[in-house]
Chain A
Amino acid sequence: MTGILTASDVGKSYGNGVARMAIIEGLNLSIAKGEFVSLVGPSGCGKTTLLMCLSGLLAPNVGMVGFKGQTVTAPPIGLSVVFQDYSRSLLPWKTNLDNVLFGMRRVTGMDAPQKKARALEILEAVGLTGFAGHYPWQVSGGMQQRVAIARGIASQSELLLLDEPLAAVDAQTRADMQDLLLDLAKRFDQTCVLVTHDVEEAVYMADRVLVLGPRPTRVVREIVVDLPKPRDQISTREAPAFLRARHEVMELIRSMRQGKALS
């Protein structure tokens, strides 16, 4: 398989024998460079576990994950993660700015003042002007999440994995952040994999939507989003292609939920 990120027949389970809990089974996917892919699925299907495996933080029991052609055994250079648990992923003894700078350790070609300027620029872009000198615990949850996103973007990693990054952000800010993520990802040429439970967000942001099935999860359908970029919050969401994709995903997820309820 080609693609900057690949998963071949990945399986992840916990426990043995009777107590065995399979989270992922027989999962295959391939992400091409420059793509923006969304992963959606019913709640509890193992999206976060999958992200952990894709990032190299968890090792699969079966199969392998590949990044730029190499098997992933630990988080590889060039890959960054934006965690769901934002408050614990930011270091409380560092300011917001220092936290973002901390994520830029591996960035080459910039000296310290340039890095600082870039970090401030990104913080401004996520709407945290004036809070750079604050500490994460001095700002609200939504703002902390934005700092975490800023850190991920500032790292200029080729691949960015985001685990429900906008869950704690209020609706209006979320719309701005979605556009911002798309814009920055394009600007810094970052491939993105977004895990979300929000179907509309998944379709709005992505070039492709991969729908995950219930546990043990695998990719049950791939839906190509045939909409031009840059996207627009109003017109894109009214476009027929958007509504079709959205319909398909929602119906699929609903049937999976009902199927589970009935079984």
Chain B
Amino acid sequence: MKRETRIALLGLLVPLAILGLWQGAALLQKTPLFPGPAKVTLAIWSNYPVILRELGVTLLRAAMGFGLAAVTMIPLGICLGRVRILGRVLEPLMDMLATLPPPAIIPLVMLFAGTGDWAKVVIIAYAAAVPLLMNTYEASHSIHPMLSRVARSLHLSRIETMRLIDWPSSLPMIATGARLAIASSLLVSVTSEMLLATNGIGTYLQRSQETFKIDAGLAGIAFISLAGILVNAGVLRLEKKWLFWHYRDQRPTE
């Protein structure tokens, strides 16, 4: 068989070995507080309806937070990129906020807004806002000067230029920001549910710990991972589909 496939298959030995070691350690420990992969698989099978329901809540909030960040930060980023002075002066603030991780603002938001849905959505929006704003700003103020020359030579109005030239050419970088923001949204959604427990998969994990159902908790983690993989793969697929012209080969065909 092809070398590629052979490596892909042999590579499976690594995770399998890890699973084997894990199972071995679990058997040695002999306590329900240390379940092996077998027990976790059983837990997945018996708990997946609940897990999926809770995961749905988490994903919905993540989407809302991301949406809120997108509609506010993308226009803002474009503005800051265009009005040079404003952008440059506020850059230190953006850099500072970039070093403030989303979990750190959770206690503050809890003070303001309690532990409900809106509190979590605000936290998620903050997490998504940082990469979105920074990437949009970067894209907006680093548009190649040649493009603006082309726009002017084609007699485009200011608005036409922004719509037909600036926007498409900024999209790749904005898309990268969106991809990071989406991953962040998912992450922070789970984290916010763990710290501000009401519902969602994060709360499910906390409850599992409290009721000593470690196998269920690990099952939950497995689903979180799966959701993350699927969402990321989906986003990448969309990116490649709409922005194919950015990921191009430079092969001449003359």
Contacts and interface: CB of A to CB of B under 8 A. Distances in A.
Q: In their complex, do chains A and B touch, with some C-beta pair under 8 Å?
A: yes
Interface centre among B155, B165, B250 (most CB of A within 10 A): B155
B144 interface: yes
Contacts of A77: 155
Interface residues of B, number: 23
B254 A137 contact: no
A137 B245 contact: yes
Interface stretch (A32-40, A99-107, A214-222): A99-107
A135 B250 CA distance: 11
A92 interface: yes
Contacts of B245: 92-93, 135, 137
Interface string B155-186: 11000000011001100000000000000000
Contact of A75 (B147, B153, B249): B153
Nearest to A88: B146
Contacts of B249: 137
A181 interface: no
Contact of A74 (B144, B152, B169, B252): B152
Query: Chain B interface secondary structure, helix, strand, loop or mixed?
Result: loop
A77 B146 CA distance: 19
B153 A106 contact: no
Contact of A89 (B150, B169, B248, B250): B150
B8 interface: no
Interface in A50-106: 55-57, 74-75, 77, 80-81, 83, 85, 88-89, 91-93, 102-103, 105-106
B154 interface: yes
B153 A139 contact: no
A139 B154 CA distance: 23
A91 B165 contact: yes
B153 A81 contact: yes
B246 interface: yes
B168 A57 contact: no
Contacts of B164: 102
A140 interface: yes
Nearest to A144: B252
Interface string B51-95: 000000000000000000000000000000000000000000000
A80 B248 CA distance: 29
A142 B168 CA distance: 25
B228 to A, nearest CB: 30
- What are the 3 closest A-B residue pairs judged by CB atoms, nearest first? A140-B252, A140-B254, A88-B146
Interface of A: 55-57, 74-75, 77, 80-81, 83, 85, 88-89, 91-93, 102-103, 105-106, 134-135, 137-143, 155
Given A77-B155, A89-B149, 8 more contacts: A81-B153, A83-B150, A83-B153, A89-B150, A93-B169, A103-B154, A137-B249, A140-B253
12 contacts: A75-B152, A80-B153, A92-B245, A92-B248, A103-B154, A105-B154, A134-B253, A135-B245, A137-B248, A139-B253, A140-B254, A142-B254
